Chains A and B, each alone.
Chain A
Amino acid sequence: MSSWQAVLSAALIGSERTVVPPPPGAPGPPADPAAALLDHAALLTVARRAGRLAGSAEPPEPAAADPRPAVSPAAGRRLGRILGGEAASSGAGDLLHEWLTAVVERGLRPPPQYLPALLDRARRVAASNPDPDEARLRGLVAAAGGPRAAWLASLNPAWSWLRGAQPATPAQPARLPVGQAATALEMIDAQPDITAVAQLLAEMPGPWPAALTARALRAATSALARTPLNASRVIRLAGLRADPALGAPDGMADFSPQAPQVLHNMLSVLRFRYDMLRELDAA
């Protein structure tokens, strides 16, 4: 039994009831056993702390190298903000899977320190979730996380879901042919009824060029007073289908502060998306 163990045992039982191991260098039985025990304990405490030796550990097998370039620091900070909940409550849904989709499409990798949060977030979403976006999250995290995520999952049983997940394959974003966009613009201008505009736009695949997005948004704003539900739908479609490669829609600065909150929320999400994708392209 080490000296510390002896002192600890005596202290646990109580110096009244047991023999106290004498401190080093003490001549004979101590006058006050309790004081001698504490003196001894103090000496040992400091000596043990100061004399501590290093231990040993097994070096882990490093993760396979990830050849993909990292996203820019600004994009990384944005991921941190998305994970922290920013822009999640504006009614346009969680932007996390959009960010991950954009990262996967561009062949980039997210900052490693956020992988645990991403793995946790995807773990909470069941693969059988009826919302198709949510169900895709696991595949997106698997694709974006790459070999490093697989390495982490091998260390933490909570992330064992990763082993069964299919990495999402990046889809090539189809672009609306220019001719079709021009036709759509004419039709929007010709249609006074926003419901009809909404139906028309719903049938057009994205991404839309910026001019089309701007025109749709402007039509929606002016119609907002009359049929707010359909106008919101137009905005949502515009947000989801706009092509960021052509820049932010010009019309975004035109919207007056008197527009309803729902419009502001959706516009802020639209702005967030454009900034997000621009940061990823700048990497």
Chain B
Amino acid sequence: MAERWDQGQVLSLAPDASAQRGARSLATARSWLSSGSAEQPAAVWGECQGSAATPYRAVVDLSGPVCKCSCPSRKFPCKHALGLLLLWSAGGVDDGEPPDWARTWLSGRAAKAARAKTDEPARAEAAQQAAQRRAEQREQRVAGGLDELDRWLLDQVRAGLARTPRASYQHWDAIAARMVDAQAAGLAERLRSLASVPHSGPGWESRLLEEYALLHLLAVAFRGGRGPREVVRSRIGFTVRQETVLGSGDRVKDRWHMLARRDLEQERIRTRRVWLRAQRDGRFALVLSFAAPGEPFDGALIPGTEADLELAFYPDGLRALVVTSANRAHAAPPPGCTVAGLLNSWARALSRDPWLDSWPAVLAAVTPSRVPRPSLRDAAGDALPLHPAAAECWPLFALSAGNPLTLAGEWTPRGLLPLTAWDDAGQVVAL
């Protein structure tokens, strides 16, 4: 005999109180014309005379439990099945052989369960094939999108950049939307950001041509399958999931120095960029974090501190995730390089990723100067311009007062963005 349930267990299956009441009224031997229970398969069945001419037939597969009844009730389980179970739990149902109508249903369920087990590898494979098809479809869409982008770029250059409609964002929004359709969100973002170039001051035509040329380069690289594959794909918009990076990305354990931090405010999202450098091998890493507008960032990478970190790197070799963190401490001013050293390091980075538009700069003994234009001058007399957005960075000038200091920031083609400075007492100042 199958192990019987108690009354409470049966009643707990009831969908509502009226089903419970109905079940109780049917839990007598009088209500059931026939009934039986078995162990293999664990089931209870019975025939109950209801208001219809033919008696209702109820079967319960105890392994679910799943109830089936021929009554028209829409409740699951219905009062007949529940009443039958109550009767059974009270010992009012004898062992027996399931009649044909019960056996058919029970064996049908058993067969379905068996099929599901053997189906599993087949289903997993089907899912994998579907994913592969989606990936192939995306490759085709992206390739098509890049072709369309390249044709658009050629059109711009044929007609002449002087005729760029400067006042309207529509010009770039339309082609950006096409890139979104092509599942190339990275390209869409680049195109939307071009809308501000005509308003970025003198020399905008030159900068616009540079951006168009780099987009053309991206299309050529993807089409020809040449160039740094992961960099190309990541800039087009093939994102790598965090789980993948944590699972298979390069792991580097070192004592890392937090150099500089920059927050970007975009309309839908805020991004925090933190640059780190490893103390042992001098490698740079960029850790990104995101927050909704108005929300604070979480994350504890503070410029001017150092910590034992294990980082997992993305395929581009620059962006990383923090896996573990320990022993955070205030750090001494980092060793910096000269202007020439920074330009060398930048050139090497460009050879790995020609689309790079920012690179970490840690400069030692530089003096901010305003003649002939706002710039940073190192001990050798070489100078780099400050980015136009930072030309009025007066706290930097106040900190220096004509004396050299250590500075960390981002080097961009338009100039250096100062982010962290160390004064003569070794104190960190965020700019």
Q: Which residues of A contact B212 (CB under 8 A)?
A: 11, 38, 41
A170 within 8 A of B: no
Contact B401 A62 (CB under 8 A): yes
Contact A50 B154 (CB under 8 A): no
Cα A60 to Cα B374 with chains together (Å): 11
Select the stretch in A111-119, A160-168, A204-212, A218-226 that faces chain B: A111-119
Of A14, A45, A63, which contacts B214 at CB under 8 A? A45
Q: List residues of A (197-233) whose CB comes within 8 Å of B's CBs.
A: none
Given contacts A41-B210, A57-B369, A113-B429, contact A35 B154 (CB under 8 A): yes
Of B159, B381, B383, B398, which contacts A113 at CB under 8 A? B398
A254 within 8 A of B: no
Say how far B203's CB is from chain A's closest CB, in angstroms. 10
Cα A54 to Cα B361 with chains together (Å): 14
Cα A15 to Cα B209 with chains together (Å): 13
Contact A16 B158 (CB under 8 A): yes
Contact A112 B158 (CB under 8 A): no
Please name the residue on chain B nearest to A35 by beta carbon. Answer: B154
B241 within 8 A of A: no
Q: List residues of B (349-370) whose CB comes within 8 Å of A's CBs.
A: 350-351, 354, 367-370
Select the stretch in B88-96, B136-144, B340-348 that faces chain A: B340-348
A12 within 8 A of B: yes
Cα A62 to Cα B367 with chains together (Å): 10
Please name the residue on chain A nearest to B374 by beta carbon. Answer: A57
Contact A38 B153 (CB under 8 A): yes
Given contacts A11-B209, A56-B383, A112-B423, contact A49 B413 (CB under 8 A): yes
Cα A60 to Cα B376 with chains together (Å): 11
Contact A14 B160 (CB under 8 A): yes
Contact A60 B371 (CB under 8 A): yes
Which of the listed residues A12, A70, A151 has the most CB atoms from chain B within 10 Å of its own CB?
A: A12
Cα A37 to Cα B159 with chains together (Å): 12
Contact A58 B372 (CB under 8 A): yes
Contact A39 B205 (CB under 8 A): no
Contact A58 B371 (CB under 8 A): yes
Contact A15 B158 (CB under 8 A): yes
Q: Which residues of B contact A240 (CB under 8 A)?
A: none
B7 within 8 A of A: no
Please name the residue on chain B nearest to A54 by beta carbon. Answer: B382
Contact B158 A34 (CB under 8 A): yes
Cα A61 to Cα B402 with chains together (Å): 6
Say how far A173's CB is from chain B's closest CB, in angstroms. 29
Given contacts A11-B157, A11-B209, A16-B159, contact A50 B350 (CB under 8 A): yes
Q: Which residues of B contact A151 (CB under 8 A)?
A: 401-402
Interface residues on A, range: 35 or more
Cα A62 to Cα B397 with chains together (Å): 11
Say how far A122's CB is from chain B's closest CB, in angstroms. 14
Say how far A40's CB is from chain B's closest CB, in angstroms. 8
Given contacts A49-B350, A152-B394, contact A38 B213 (CB under 8 A): yes
Of B161, B346, B395, which contacts A11 at CB under 8 A? B161
Please name the residue on chain B nearest to A119 by beta carbon. Answer: B394
Contact B161 A42 (CB under 8 A): no
Contact digits for A5-44, partner B, Cβ 8 Å, 1 yes 0 no: 0011001111111000000000000001111011101101
Q: Which residues of A contact B403 (CB under 8 A)?
A: 62-63
Contact A73 B427 (CB under 8 A): yes
Please name the residue on chain B nearest to A73 by beta carbon. Answer: B427
Of A4, A56, A73, A116, which contacts B398 at CB under 8 A? A116
Q: Which residues of B contact A44 (CB under 8 A)?
A: 213
Contact A13 B351 (CB under 8 A): no
Q: Which residues of B contact A35 (CB under 8 A)?
A: 154, 216
Q: Which residues of A contact B377 (CB under 8 A)?
A: 56-59
Given contacts A55-B385, A59-B369, contact A37 B402 (CB under 8 A): no
**What are 14 A-to-B residue pairs whose CB atoms are below 8 Å?**
A38-B154, A38-B212, A38-B213, A42-B213, A50-B350, A56-B382, A56-B383, A58-B369, A59-B367, A60-B368, A60-B371, A63-B401, A112-B398, A114-B395
Binding site for A on B (CB under 8 A): 153-155, 157-163, 205-206, 209-210, 212-214, 216-217, 220, 339-340, 343, 346-347, 350-351, 354, 367-373, 375-377, 381-385, 394-395, 397-399, 401-403, 413, 423, 425, 427, 429, 431
The 4 closest A-B pairs by CB, nearest first: A14-B160, A62-B402, A54-B382, A116-B394
For the complex with contacts A14-B157, A46-B354, A60-B402, 13 further pairs of A-B residues with Cβ separation under 8 Å are A8-B205, A13-B162, A14-B159, A33-B158, A45-B210, A46-B217, A49-B350, A53-B343, A54-B384, A56-B383, A70-B425, A148-B398, A148-B401
